[in-house]
Structure 1
Amino acid sequence: MMKPFSLLLILGAGFFIDVLAAPSPCPLVGPAFPWPTPSLENKCLDTARRNLSALLFKAANGSTNSIAVQAFDTSNTSPLFQWTYTADNLDTKLGVSHVDQDSVFRVGSVSKLWAMTLFLAEAGIDTFSDPVAKYIPEIQSAVSGDAIDSVQWANVTIGDLASHLAGVGRDYGILDLAANPSMTQMGFPVLQPNEIPPCGNPVPCNRTQFFSGLLQRHPTFPVSATPVYSNAAFQILGYVLEAIKNDTFENLFQSQIVRPLNLSHTFYTAPSPSLGVIPQGQGANFWNMDLGDENPAGGIYSSANDMAALGRAILNSTLIDPLTTRRWMKPHSHTSSLAYAVGAPWEITSFSLPRLIDLYTKSGDIGSYSSVLALSPDHGVGFTILVAGTGGHVVAAMVADLVAQTMLPALEYIAKDQARVRFAGTYSAPSRVVNSSISIITDDGPGLRVTNWTSNSTDMFQSLATLRGANDTSQITIRLYPTGLETPGKISFRALIPPDLGLAPIGPFTGSCITWVTVDSYIYGSVGLDEFVFTLDDHLRATSVSPRVLRIDLQRQNSSSG
């Protein structure tokens, strides 16, 4: 019997990550090392790729799901990893007979990520604070009733819509169960004609029909109360962008995303089925399913290569300036899961490596198609997964777990090893200067570790212990983390010296990671004791380091094996 996907393999693979474990040694959220530049010949990466291929092939053997996977980074145009699986149940009379990295899938709600990239590139992030009524006359003229029956549209901002915080219903018309004639046989009442959406099944709603129906829908929650998924919100965002740019969303998508990124297998509406991965059965129906003006929420078609190009463009700030990218890639709301937050429209998954890693992801499902695009801002890498078949979201999620849990540890190791070569070693002042030096290594923890630090023949660990009121230097650990502040030939780090509360954690207040509160907390002459700047040569290797509070440059004497 054909199987959707092998859950057994994943349960037995031993790849469990404790998302509840307290991070140790308590770094900041963000990179532990500068972005790696992984060579495709790197032994660690090669081992990870071979292991991942074996896991995926074993899990997919006999599956009814066709799958395309690609991992990518910002420093290579070639994939870090690519893998495909072609199921036996493809409709080869309509679509492709063999899946490759250019095969086209529907990406479902990953379309929201494409739409938000376009929105930020064209309208900017400052519009997030604007009321949506500013751009949508139908909403501006809407009369809000009581809070239970009517969305309070005057309070809804563009940012609320983008981050699923508007309290707006999921859809209007499309997939409404009123189109199912058997509903009354299952105990539901007979609907009056005016209660049945006139569109959405199968003909999509036009703008007039959409707003006429949506403005009558009840809110799900108050504005900004809790994230509740909404496709309708992104349909409205499409209309907002059209109003701002005085052009159609489709034209903007082609001119500002597809052409600049040179995408040859990404489409706003259904392309020729000969390009597509189309399962037998309902595959052709879902391939041709027209979402009309809801396309920004779920209608886009793409390939693994083109999805990787979008992910690379986001990480490299190719279409959006770096400041906007940083502001965009932040949580907007928690969920009830400690490992899951919501952005605009990011689905942010957190896990321990053992340090905390945030993956900024978006998943999507439409009929026989499921997809994932995941980005790691800590490593400058990402991966995409496209699925067509019977397994749906579960298959895409399980493949995503395997990719993340196999590739990210390898990339973290590569980043650490490259940081060792670039920064580890002993740095000292010229011999004519009073004894001053610092030793930096990499170990089994995150960041660069300072093992010895002397200034003017004084042990700085002892000085820090005195400032901290610590009993001895054994309570002082110093780790350096990149800040992201760089200029040509220089890179900034901050030292984290985790506080010792003097007791075993008994709950979230005593066990929380609070190092973010301690940054820049000791200042001498307006310079933080934790500020370090490395000077780099043409190969980006450190030649000196300045503990800036000491107003001195220490020259690198030797590299460390770390």
Structure 2
Amino acid sequence: MLYTTAALSLILFAAQTYAVCYDPSPAFLPPKSNTYRGSAIINDAFKSIAANLDELLAQSAFDTSSFSIEVTTSTDSLWELHHTARDKDPERPGAEKVGGDSVYRVASISKAFTVLAIIQQHAAGNLSIDHAVNQYLDLEGDIQWSDITLRTLASQLSGIPRDFAMGDLLYGDIDPVSFGLPPFQGEKVPDCESSCSADELLENLATRVPIWPPKYKSSYSNINFDLLGLVVEEVTGLAFADYVEQAILQPLGMDSSSFIKPDDSVAVLPKGLNYWDFELGVQRPTGGLYSTSSDMSKFLRHALKSHDILSPQISWFSPGSYAEHLSSFYGMPWEIFRTSSILPSTSRPVTFVTKAGSLPGYLTYAIMAPEYDLGITIFTAGSQTLLDLLREAVTVPLLRAAEEAAQSDLHSRYAGIFTAAAPLNSTIVLSQSDSNGLYIDSFISNSTVVVGDPQVPLSLLTQGLPFRVQLIPSLLYRENEVGRKGEVWRGAVVLEERQEGVWSDNCLTNYDPALYAGKPLFEVVFWEDDGGIIEELEMVGFRVRMGRDGGEKADGIIGGGFANKKEQKVMG
């Protein structure tokens, strides 16, 4: 097998620049709602989750706890489960029975609404998310305000303090002297037991010092979002709560959500200390929203559908800074978690885009898994340990079931044999497995073996190590001359065996490593028939279209200048 010097150099260059990842993501298009609704796998998972939670909640430790859980896709809700505390405050029991319309304090999930308001105003041209915050607010003191943009605030990269009143030990239940602190006799600092004002916030910030310089290191700050709320007020001329009501809650139909405390008859009120009645004032943008699990599902549906189209300059689910753990990142305002531990058959990472909330008496979590088109709301009132148990008990079996259902659809929709019409000798076999996703099992193009023989030139990309060509959806589509839709996928050369060493974890993806006559070598288009069934596969770089076996053969060669070979041989 001989190669010209130029061709060999090109392939070796591609090998150096084309880092191969072990389990690329995503493995499939986001499943549609009917994939889940018609799936016995998903239904069994929900039944199992409910049974496990019944067993958990039988413990007396959770007698005073209530919760609401709801699972949705980007189009509609799939499942919900609610639990009412067995032991309530008899003088103030709240809602008689907890359901989807029962109201919780969602605490810091409010930050997601604040960021959405900023993005809306950025898209409208009323502000720039990359302008410094002091272009909109009069800010003084030692903090480097001119280096802190709205994006920096939203991404937890400002370096400014976490709180300006809440959390001060001076006003806690424990005597500060017991911590070894000296008695305080200086000027009173804000306590916000009655809601603090914007003036009090800005006056306090003028006396504060940063934790560290802007953009140096991420650190959670509630003040970031207090300031973003003030920016919304500055550019819209509306009170922050009024703007969110008019621009977000009403359009999404979140009729039970508000920054105003609702009646006790719909309230989930935990027994003991809670912040149900606490008015946050200027801190509303960081944690003041009251909402229901049903309403939060509406918000998650909007986020799942719109996160990449809200503004040309913003990808809302992308990370903006590192957190401390290698799997954790901050977004705007998301807490993003990527894990390779959840799927039993593959180390392919799963991304959770989340926002947690916490106020005394309430712990809440909003979770999205965009690759699966799933949103999960978990609201709790009562025990401080319940939420973590619910999160594990719901997300792990649900995502594993969603993976199984998606892989089943992947097999039935795409796997099979595709063959060009005679006399062209071109055939591709696509296979699917839970560990490898959709991949090219073998490919003969114009009587030449491209995939399926260890001696093909593609092996140079992996330095002779075993590999597969896995197909990855691009979320791009084509339309042919008769109006039929084609899904565009990309082929990735993936190592089958993990290598040893620290740098084996380094992966810089490159899904466009080579061209042939100006066309991507491993761009794949799946063409649908009138009923939406895959009937043809086009290998764009190879200028060949192949029909699915069992249907009509495709016309074959696309374009001129490509000769048909009669004998089969290894490409080279």
Higher helix share: 1
Q: Distance in 2 between matches of 1:464 and 1:372?
A: 51
Map of 1:347 onto structure 2 = 335
Match of 1:441 in 2: 431
- Indicate conservation of the 8 Å contact 1:25/1:445, yes or no: no
Match of 2:294 among 305, 310, 314: 305
Q: Is residue 448 of structure 2 the alignment partner of residue 458 of structure 1?
A: yes
1:59 Cα deviation from its structure 2 partner: 1.2
Match of 2:95 in 1: 96
Q: CA deviation at 1:504?
A: 6.5
Kept after mapping to 1: 8 A contact 2:94/2:265: yes
1:362-381 residue pairs with structure 2 within 5 A? Answer: 362-381=355-374
| Structural mapping, 1:196-207, within 5 Å | 196-200=188-192, 202-207=193-198
Asked if residue 390 in structure 1 is aligned to residue 383 in structure 2, the reply is yes
2:565: which partner in 1?
Answer: none
Q: What letter corresponds to residue 392 of structure 2 in structure 1?
A: D
Q: 1:428 aligns with which of 419, 422, 425?
A: 419
> SS at the partner of 1:442?
strand
Contact 2:418 2:537 in 1 (8 A): yes
- Report the alpha carbon displacement of residue 35 of structure 1 after superposing the two structures with TM: 2.6
User: Could you report, residue by residue, the CA deviation over 1:39-67 in whole angstroms, capped at 9, with x for unpaired residues?
Assistant: 42411011111111111111122313111
Which residue pairs with 1:327 in the alignment? 315
Q: Are positions 1:171 and 2:172 aligned together?
A: no
C-alpha contact (below 8 Å) 2:96/2:265 kept by paired residues: no
Question: For 1:328-356, what per-residue CA distance to the aligned partner results, in whole angstroms no more than 9, with x for missing partners?
Answer: 11111122212211111111111122310
> What CA distance in whole angstroms lies between the structure 2 residues aligned with 1:326 and 1:28?
24
SS at match of 2:406: helix
Q: 1:504/1:231 Cα in 2 relative to 1: closer, same or farther (>3 Å)?
A: closer
Residue 545 (structure 1) aligned to one of 537, 561, 568: 537
The alpha-carbon deviation at position 470 of structure 1 amounts to 7.2
C-alpha contact 2:270 2:381 (8 A) present in aligned 1? yes
Once the two structures are superposed, the pairs formed by residues 111-190 of structure 1 within 5 Å of their partners are: 111-124=110-123, 127-136=128-137, 138-139=138-139, 142-143=140-141, 150-180=142-172, 182-184=175-177, 186-190=179-183
Given that 1:33 and 1:447 are in contact with CA atoms closer than 8 Å, whether structure 2 keeps it comes out as no
Deviation at 1:539, TM superposition (A): 3.8
Identity percentage of aligned residues: 26
Query: 1:509 corresponds to which residue?
Result: 503
Aligned CA distance change for structure 1 residues 413 and 188 (closer, same or farther; 3 Å): same
Could you tell me how far apart the structure 2 residues matched to 1:382 and 1:539 are?
Answer: 29
Structure 1 residue 460 displacement after superposition: 0.8
- 1:464 shift after superposition: 8.0
Aligned to 1:410: 401
Kindly provide the amino acid, as one letter, of the partner of residue 374 in structure 2: V
Q: Distance in 2 between matches of 1:482 and 1:370?
A: 36
Check 1:472–1:109 CA distance in 2 against 1; reply closer, same or farther (3 A cut): closer
Structure number, greater radius of gyration: 2
Q: What letter corresponds to residue 419 of structure 2 in structure 1?
A: S
Match of 1:80 among 74, 78, 81: 78
Cα deviation, 1:267-309, whole Å, max 9, x if unaligned, reads: 11211122110012223xx100111011110010111111111
Partner of 2:494: 498
Q: Name the aligned partner's letter for residue 525 of structure 1.
A: A
In the alignment, does 2:45 pair up with 1:52?
no
Please say if residues 67 and 379 of structure 2, whose CA atoms lie closer than 8 Å, have aligned partners that are also in contact: yes
Cα gap change, 1:164 to 1:504, in 2 (>3 Å): closer
Distance 1:291-1:418 versus aligned 2 partners, 3 A rule: same
Moved more, 528-537 or 88-97: 88-97
**1:400 match: secondary structure:** helix
TM-score normalised by length of structure 1? 0.86
Is residue 2:276 matched to residue 1:265?
Answer: no
- Indicate the residue corresponding to 2:8 in structure 1: none
Unpaired runs of 5+ residues, structure 1, are 1-23, 144-149
Aligned equivalents of 1:189, 1:213: Cα separation in 2: 22
Q: What's 1:244 paired with?
A: 235
Structure 1 residues 32 and 40: alpha-carbon distance in aligned structure 2, compared to 1, 3 A threshold: closer
In the TM superposition, what whole-angstrom CA distance separates every residue of 1:108-155 from its partner, at most 9, and x where no partner exists? 11111122122212333982211111111x21xx24xxxxxx321111
Question: Hey, what does 2:324 align to over in structure 1?
Answer: 336
Asked if 2 retains the 8 angstrom alpha-carbon contact of 1:123 and 1:244, the reply is no
Counterpart residue type for residue 58 of structure 1:
E
Q: Aligned pair in 2 of structure 1 residues 464, 531: CA closer, same or farther (>3 Å)? A: farther
> What is the aligned residue count?
514
Deviation, structure 1 residue 439: 1.2
Q: Partner of 1:329: helix, strand, or coil?
A: coil
The amino acid across from 2:198 in the alignment is R
Comparing 352-361 with 459-468, greater Cα deviation is found at: 459-468
Separation in 1 of the partners of 2:376 and 2:354?
Answer: 9
CA distance in 1, matches of 2:388, 2:217: 24
Retained in 2: the 8 A contact 1:104–1:277? yes
Hey, what does 1:32 align to over in structure 2? 28
Q: What is aligned with 2:70? A: 70
Q: What amino acid is the match of 1:494?
A: R
